[in-house]
Structure 1
Amino acid sequence: MRHFVFALLLLLSPPLLAAERLDATPRIAVMSAFAPEWQLLKSATTEQKSHSVNGIDFVTGRLAGRNVVLFLSGISMVNATMSTQIALDRFDVTGIVFSGIAGGVDPALNVGDVVVANQWSQYLEATFARDLGNGKWSVPPWQTATLPNYGMIFPGPVEVRRAGSATPEKRMWFEVDADMLKAAGRMGDVALQDCVAPGRCLGRKPRMIVGGNGVSGQAFVDNAAFREYVFATFKAQLLDMESAAVAMVAYANGTPFIAFRSLSDLAGGEHGGNEMATFMGLASANAALVVQRFLQAWTPPR
């Protein structure tokens, strides 16, 4: 009888409806984490129309000759995950492009450089291991350490479900879209900003680097030792607080994704204090400039 009642309730329940599309035009989603990044791109966008979902402002329009929807991811992994999925549910998204700042990890890179990583991982998708003393740690017996640890932190893969797959899979890395990466590689030299004010310039001209690894996590990193660990363990060029989350959502939905991150600081590698407050504007402008050039170079799949 209980099973019959449950089945009857299912039959009488209204069908689950997809989220209402706010716009029918196929668009490239252009995301930023910080307001300064968002304002730069928004100021260059024409034919603007605003929408709001769960307190997130989405602006549709034309940017660099493409139909786009602009929005802020919010800072950190959970915010980026939520806002990305809302955009995919409410708009016809043909690809996701992230424009933002980051902390440099690779010692060969400098503030102002723009990195276009070819894959992203999460350095805090991890087990905090049991302390055995004398510098020894123990992960639970059902887990296997796949990468070198940083003290008690043992990073590992994340489980993800994907459209069209009946079973979840574990992944350490999420690759950006191959065609997007090729388009970025065809862009050639971009004249990036190198001064925050007259007489206050970087020691050398910033450059764009296509390829390499990026990592993301919930922590703002300003620690030289951890920076060195991330570079050695993940062979990473940079770290931030959103890109890997967006890459994972894009993978789960089968949506092309790429991120352009300009270095605002060196994640603890500076000789003095952290320089993000000084160079955030310059880095934001460089990322936004490269994204607009990319939009001209890449043709969405539909």
Structure 2
Amino acid sequence: MIAKPDSAAPLAVICAMQEEKAALRALMSDLETRDLLGRRVTLGRLDGRDIVVAESGIGKVASAVTAALLAREFGCRGLVVSGVAGGLDPGLHIGDTVIAHSLVQHDYGQLLDGGLTSFRPGVPPLGPDRGEYHFTLTADLTERLAQLAGAIDLPELPADLLPASAPRAWRKRRVVLGRIVSGDQFINSERERARLHRDFDAQAVEMEGAAVAQVGALLGLPVVVVRCLSDLAGSDSHLDFPRFVAAVSPGAALVLRQIIGIL
């Protein structure tokens, strides 16, 4: 049984990959490392607040298991997913950061000839009752995050990471609230990118956040997902991702540092 956390409990942060965790670890103090069922977990403080950071591995199952383990082992007061994602919104660029106000598992549902009909994860994916398949933040937390997001000023992307022909505006990094969709695929397709943006009105796609949101809903814990765009989920994403993942991962960590006070 997982006890109800108190305000002094640590905040749990889940990162899928080493690069994402390293970016956050570099900002922490008073570090202590433990092993939790094969996962390297770092306990420490971020600007005076207790946090515990784990590298979960990639995918919905890996991240959900890690979230549940952290909640049980440390009695965490909330769950955060921090790292990179693929951009879906044509108005966003590599280096921009999306804070999720809503999360959807884009690969859960009923697959018909006309496409996939989304259902609430955990319910039978058939019949007329689809359930509420979006995991959303409270209105109060959404409003506070929106106010903070508009005030965050991230460092510009280094010029050598972008094509020589790229306009200077591409170096400027935005922080926005939006919908993030999660599924167990690396999206490397212009057609699928356009479909996910159209069908879900989503700004970014990744492989963990909505699964952690499902765990949070079961445990009664708030879940915030912060994603910096490492690629644009199109035909070049297999090239952009390895090029940008280490360079943009600190963006998500810096945004988390700015918002941790309200989580």
TM-score range, shorter chain: 0.7 to 0.9
1:51 deviates by 2.0
**TM-score normalized by the length of structure 1:** 0.75
1:183 paired residue number:
144
Q: Do structure 1's residue 76 and structure 2's residue 59 form an aligned pair?
A: yes
Once the two structures are superposed, residues 28-59 of structure 1 have per-residue CA deviations (whole angstroms, 9 ceiling, x without a partner) of 11221111110121122111222212101221
Residues in 1 aligned to 2:160 and 2:225: alpha-carbon distance in whole angstroms: 27
Residues in 2 aligned to 1:102 and 1:233: alpha-carbon distance in whole angstroms: 18
Residues in 1 aligned to 2:53 and 2:250: alpha-carbon distance in whole angstroms: 16
Once the two structures are superposed, residues 176-233 of structure 1 have per-residue CA deviations (whole angstroms, 9 ceiling, x without a partner) of 34444333223213223411748878642110012x2110000111101111111111
1:206 paired residue number:
173
1:273 deviates by 6.3
Q: Do structure 1's residue 173 and structure 2's residue 134 form an aligned pair?
A: yes
The answer to whether the 8 Å contact 1:59/1:70 transfers is yes
Instruction: Provide closer, same or farther for how the CA distance between residues 237 and 198 of structure 1 changes in structure 2, counting only shifts above 3 A.
Output: closer
Once the two structures are superposed, residues 49-88 of structure 1 have per-residue CA deviations (whole angstroms, 9 ceiling, x without a partner) of 2221210122111112211111112100000110000001
Residues in 2 aligned to 1:273 and 1:96: alpha-carbon distance in whole angstroms: 29
Instruction: Provide closer, same or farther for how the CA distance between residues 86 and 268 of structure 1 changes in structure 2, counting only shifts above 3 A.
Output: same
1:183 partner letter: R
Residues in 2 aligned to 1:198 and 1:108: alpha-carbon distance in whole angstroms: 19
* 1:1-302 superposed matches below 5 A: 18=1, 26-129=9-112, 137=113, 149-150=114-115, 153-159=116-122, 170-187=131-148, 188-195=151-158, 197=160, 203=167, 204=170, 205-210=172-177, 212-268=178-234, 274-295=239-260, 297-298=261-262, 300=263
Instruction: Name which one, 1 or 2, has greater alpha-carbon Rg.
Output: 1
Question: % of aligned pairs identical?
Answer: 28
Q: Hey, which of these two has a bigger chunk of helix by percent?
A: 2
Residues in 1 aligned to 2:235 and 2:49: alpha-carbon distance in whole angstroms: 38
Secondary structure class of the residue paired with 1:51: strand
1:181 partner letter: T
2:153 partner letter: V
Secondary structure class of the residue paired with 2:77: strand
Secondary structure class of the residue paired with 1:68: strand
2:127 paired residue number:
none
Residues in 2 aligned to 1:273 and 1:46: alpha-carbon distance in whole angstroms: 34
Residues in 1 aligned to 2:184 and 2:133: alpha-carbon distance in whole angstroms: 16
1:133 paired residue number:
none
**TM-score normalized by the length of structure 2:** 0.85
Instruction: Provide closer, same or farther for how the CA distance between residues 273 and 158 of structure 1 changes in structure 2, counting only shifts above 3 A.
Output: closer
Residues in 2 aligned to 1:260 and 1:42: alpha-carbon distance in whole angstroms: 16
Residues in 2 aligned to 1:199 and 1:159: alpha-carbon distance in whole angstroms: 42
Instruction: Provide closer, same or farther for how the CA distance between residues 213 and 81 of structure 1 changes in structure 2, counting only shifts above 3 A.
Output: same
1:94 deviates by 1.0
Instruction: Provide closer, same or farther for how the CA distance between residues 277 and 57 of structure 1 changes in structure 2, counting only shifts above 3 A.
Output: same
CA RMSD of aligned residues (A): 2.5
2:110 partner letter: T
Residues in 1 aligned to 2:156 and 2:226: alpha-carbon distance in whole angstroms: 15
Equivalenced residues, count = 248
Residues in 2 aligned to 1:105 and 1:276: alpha-carbon distance in whole angstroms: 14
Structure 1 residues 201-210 or 252-261, which shifts more? 201-210
Instruction: Provide closer, same or farther for how the CA distance between residues 240 and 247 of structure 1 changes in structure 2, counting only shifts above 3 A.
Output: same
Residues in 2 aligned to 1:233 and 1:180: alpha-carbon distance in whole angstroms: 25
Secondary structure class of the residue paired with 1:284: helix
1:288 partner letter: A
1:15 paired residue number:
none
Unaligned runs of 5+ in 2: 124-129
Unaligned runs of 5+ in 1: 1-17, 130-136, 138-148, 161-168
